Homo-oligomer: A and B are copies of this chain.
Amino acid sequence: MARIALDAMGGDHAPHAPIAAALLAATELGPDHTLQLVGQQAVIREELAKQLAAAGPEAQAAAAHFEIIDAPDVILMTDKPSVAIRGKPNSSMGVGLKLQAEGKSDAFVSAGNTGAQMAASVFVLRLHEGLQRPAIGTVFPTATQPVVVLDSGANVDCSAQELVNFAQLGHVYAKDILGRPNPAIGLLSVGEEAEKGNAAVKEAHQLLLKSGLNFIGNVEGRDVAMGACDRGPIDVVVCDGFTGNVLLKFYEAVPKLFGGLMLKAGVSKETLGQALSGLDYAKYGGAPLLGVKGVSIICHGKSSPEAIKNGIKAGLRAVESGMSRHIGEKVHA
């Protein structure tokens, strides 16, 4: 059984969305796991009562297993990370992560201020030795199987060694969370030849060849969309957080662009929704902050209850698979 701390105050739709997600998750996961709702106690109790009044007996039973943990400070989406950590030590993030550091919780899940969550996670949980910074691994739906792209925004300027670390982190993520037995790792570049790429990528290519990972060489933008290159399927795409973040945000906007064109051409909303359902980010839940000693799941600020519920499930998989321990071993290997 696992104890998952959920930031009840984080996200554009808090506290409604996290509390609704907790009810969905508890119903789905059953009483074996404990959900810890962290935030301003009065706000949580009020929102929970409101949602339970409209819910069925299943949700009522599930909520009986919730722990409510008071955290008086609230981090705003607009707070600077440094201000959030130093100025608001008793925020839902601070309290939720401290529970984990003290061995009273196994994972932390939030849809709140991403920068603050990253900074607080590193500050409270610490990084595995050998890592300079954490990375965010985001699952991209593709034409074939989903691939994990990292870093997707935590590190904008990356050295070759950091790219190699991302490959190690991605290896563990793909194995533990996506269930790929021997993850195929591609290095994002502008051509498949080893000599193509910017300075950091060219150096990282050489280091990856000697890394002992299943490195399949450089991959290009199109290969990310296809989930495969001419050397076979891809499980992990390694890139700096600048490129990864630009690509992720571009990709997130593409269904809107394509959907608009389809509707104009007379395709019905129902058909469109059905076609694009496989690309729904909510399915893949949150992105783990990789490299910290523990589990910290970052959900999109706009997350629906369904998306946060999947973030909770991602946290559970990370706990049950021993992802953080495996990362520690891989980075030292």
**Known: A190-B241, A275-B262. Contact between A253 and B156, CB under 8 A?**
no
Choose from B156, B220, B260, B267 the contact partner of A262 (Cβ within 8 Å): B267
Nearest B residue to A225 via CB reads B253
Q: Is B256's CB under 8 angstroms from A265's CB? A: no
Residues of B near A225 (CB, < 8 A) are: 250, 253-254, 256-257
Q: Report A202 CB to chain B, min CB distance, Å.
A: 9
Q: Is A199 an interface residue (CB 8 A)?
A: yes
Choose from B201, B250, B279 the contact partner of A250 (Cβ within 8 Å): B250
Q: Report A114 CB to chain B, min CB distance, Å.
A: 11
Q: Is A165 an interface residue (CB 8 A)?
A: no
Choose from B156, B199, B221 the contact partner of A190 (Cβ within 8 Å): B156
Q: Is A31 an interface residue (CB 8 A)?
A: no
Choose from B242, B255, B264 the contact partner of A197 (Cβ within 8 Å): B242
**Known: A156-B190, A190-B241. Contact between A264 and B275, CB under 8 A?**
yes
Choose from B197, B265, B278 the contact partner of A275 (Cβ within 8 Å): B265
Q: Is A253's CB under 8 angstroms from B198's CB? A: no
Nearest B residue to A227 via CB reads B257
**A230-276 interface with B by 8 A CB criterion:** 239-243, 245-258, 260-262, 264-267, 271-272, 274-276
Residues of B near A223 (CB, < 8 A) are: 253
Q: Is A188 an interface residue (CB 8 A)?
A: yes
With A and B bound together, what is the CA distance between A59 and B16 in angstroms?
68
Q: Is A127 an interface residue (CB 8 A)?
A: no
Residue total for A at the interface (Cβ-Cβ under 8 A)? 52
Choose from B222, B255, B257 the contact partner of A249 (Cβ within 8 Å): B222
With A and B bound together, what is the CA distance between A278 and B257 in angstroms?
11
With A and B bound together, what is the CA distance between A220 and B249 in angstroms?
7
Nearest B residue to A142 via CB reads B257
**Known: A190-B245, A267-B267. Contact between A256 and B198, CB under 8 A?**
no
Residues of B near A262 (CB, < 8 A) are: 262, 267, 271, 275
Nearest B residue to A259 via CB reads B258
**Known: A257-B143, A271-B266. Contact between A251 and B198, CB under 8 A?**
no
Q: Is B261's CB under 8 angstroms from A226's CB? A: no
Residues of B near A279 (CB, < 8 A) are: 261
Q: Is A290 an interface residue (CB 8 A)?
A: no
With A and B bound together, what is the CA distance between A173 and B225 in angstroms?
29
Q: Is A62 an interface residue (CB 8 A)?
A: no
Q: Is A102 an interface residue (CB 8 A)?
A: no
Q: Is B258's CB under 8 angstroms from A258's CB? A: yes
Q: Is A258's CB under 8 angstroms from B247's CB? A: no
**Known: A246-B190, A247-B246. Contact between A253 and B157, CB under 8 A?**
no
The proximity string for A residues 5-23 relative to B, scoring 1 for CB distances below 8 Å and 0 otherwise, is: 0000000000000000000
**Known: A198-B157, A260-B143. Contact between A252 and B190, CB under 8 A?**
no
Choose from B143, B243, B264 the contact partner of A256 (Cβ within 8 Å): B143
Q: Is A247's CB under 8 angstroms from B250's CB? A: yes
Residues of B near A252 (CB, < 8 A) are: 221-222
